[in-house]
């Protein structure tokens, strides 16, 4: 019986002690979130105190990227048969017109190709006439069917050879219809396939190039667009037709209006997605490869805001200081939102009376330093 009474008393005393400890922890937590200043400290801190303001802020999506051109506006110029570059007048940055001669190629294989075509074409002309003659003889049973079939076979094979050689000539820019024995040439003109300007020159005069080698690279800037990187969390907010502004990284004051054409459906390793935008008023000072910074404004919302310097960061969280009276200030956790023109939208973790709550709006970090020094001393 005595043991039971003693055990009960121990449990009661233990429960009282635990309750007292919890209350003490809570009291200490409240105490460590409040900083008290003397009149001298207030003077040195140079604090400013005011109510939160209500402002309409545009939520903004920040983006970066570069000026780009679609694949159909970028051309790598090579020569299908290879050969030696005999002549070119191109320089990087030079503009060219579609069909303009941008180089002269030279090689004995061009002569051989023209020779083969003319020989086979002459043979085809002969076989055409011979086929007609053999057909007439075969119909009159003046010759064997085998002779006619042999000529027909030779005609069809030569016809195939002539057609394939025609296409090869067209690939290197020679018109088969204009080719005769008198104008066989060892050189061939290389022409620009698009309007644009030269971005790269990979050869020099006298160099032999293989069919797979790229001689020149051309770009047509008429259809340039902005290829912008958008963070994963913002991709769902980007819609086709949305308007935004971008600026060159080295000229941030000159803005260009853009419109979203499409957004990719995948996220890369850097957790961003690619958004392609059309320039509303493209300028010729925009060149492919230039770096861009920009933004898209979403719907405006009315929010309670404080100056950005009112908010302090500590251990990964954001806080503001509330003036309890003229010399006591409490640190309160908040969630921040849109930042614009030096103001930041705030949402307190705990509800507060916006009409009466005064916030420290200047030198908040001084209060944070005092508060943490106080906690370390204790």
Candidates 295, 339, 314; CA nearest to 33 is: 314
Query: Rounded distance, CA 75 to CA 219, Å?
Result: 6
Instruction: Tell me if residue 292 falls in helix, strand or coil.
Output: strand
What's residue 65's pLDDT? 92
Q: Which two tokens stand for residue 80?
A: 């299908």
What percentage of the chain carries pLDDT values higher than 90? 34
| For helices 2-32 and 364-377, angle between their N-to-C axes, nearest 10 degrees | 150
pLDDT digit string, tens, across residues 160-209: 999 999 999 999 999 999 999 999 999 999 999 999 889 899 999 999 99
Q: Is the pLDDT of residue 157 over 60?
A: yes
Identify the CATH class of 79-106+187-222. mainly beta
Entry field: residues in the chain: 378
Task: Point out the least confidently predicted range of 14-23, 77-86, 303-312.
Answer: 14-23
CATH 1.10.1060 fits 108-185, yes or no: no
Structure tokens at 366: 């001084």
At 4 the pLDDT is 44
- Please give the order of strands across the beta sheet that includes 196-201: 74-77, 216-219, 196-201, 95-96
In this prediction, residue 198 carries a pLDDT of 92
Please tell me if the domain spanning 79-106+187-222 has the same topology as the one spanning 108-185: no
Tokens (6 digits) for 307: 């100056």
**CA R_g for the chain:** 41
Q: Which of 39-43, 44-48, 373-377 has the lowest mean pLDDT?
A: 373-377
All structural domains of the chain with their residue ranges? 79-106+187-222, 108-185
Question: How do residues 355-364 score in pLDDT, each as one tens digit?
Answer: 888 898 888 8
């Amino acid at each position: 019986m005595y043991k039971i009474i003693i055990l009960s008393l121990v449990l009661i005393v233990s429960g009282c002690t635990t309750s007292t400890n919890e209350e003490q922890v809570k009291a200490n937590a409240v105490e460590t979130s409040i900083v008290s200043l003397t009149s001298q400290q207030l003077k040195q801190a140079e604090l400013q105190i005011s109510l939160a303001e209500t402002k309409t802020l545009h939520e903004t999506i920040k983006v970066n990227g570069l000026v780009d051109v679609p694949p159909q506006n970028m051309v790598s110029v090579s020569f299908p048969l290879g050969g030696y570059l005999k002549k070119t007048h191109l320089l990087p940055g030079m503009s060219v017109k579609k069909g303009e001669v941008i180089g002269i190629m030279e090689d004995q294989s061009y002569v051989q190709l023209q020779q083969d075509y003319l020989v086979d074409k002459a043979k085809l002309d002969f076989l055409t006439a011979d086929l007609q003659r053999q057909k007439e003889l075969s119909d009159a049973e003046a010759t064997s069917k085998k002779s006619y079939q042999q000529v027909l076979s030779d005609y069809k094979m030569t016809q195939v050879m002539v057609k394939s050689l025609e296409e090869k000539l067209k690939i290197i820019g020679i018109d088969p219809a204009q080719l005769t024995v008198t104008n066989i040439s060892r050189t061939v003109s290389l022409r620009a396939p698009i309007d644009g300007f030269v971005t790269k020159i990979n050869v020099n005069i006298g160099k032999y190039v293989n069919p797979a080698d790229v001689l020149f690279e051309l770009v047509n800037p008429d259809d340039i667009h902005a290829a912008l990187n958008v963070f994963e969390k913002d991709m769902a907010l980007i819609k086709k037709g949305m308007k935004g502004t971008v600026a060159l990284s080295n000229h941030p004051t000159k803005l260009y209006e853009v419109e979203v054409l499409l957004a990719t459906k995948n996220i890369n390793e850097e957790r961003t997605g690619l958004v392609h935008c059309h320039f509303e008023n493209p300028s010729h000072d925009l060149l492919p490869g230039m770096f861009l910074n920009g933004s898209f404004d979403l719907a405006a919302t009315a929010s309670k805001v404080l100056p950005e310097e009112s908010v302090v960061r500590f251990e990964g969280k954001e806080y503001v200081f509330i003036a309890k009276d003229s010399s006591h200030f409490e640190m309160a956790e908040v969630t921040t939102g849109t930042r614009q023109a030096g103001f930041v939208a705030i949402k307190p973790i705990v509800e507060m009376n916006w009409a009466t709550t005064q916030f420290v709006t200047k030198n908040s970090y001084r209060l944070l330093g005092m508060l943490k020094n106080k906690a370390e001393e204790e």
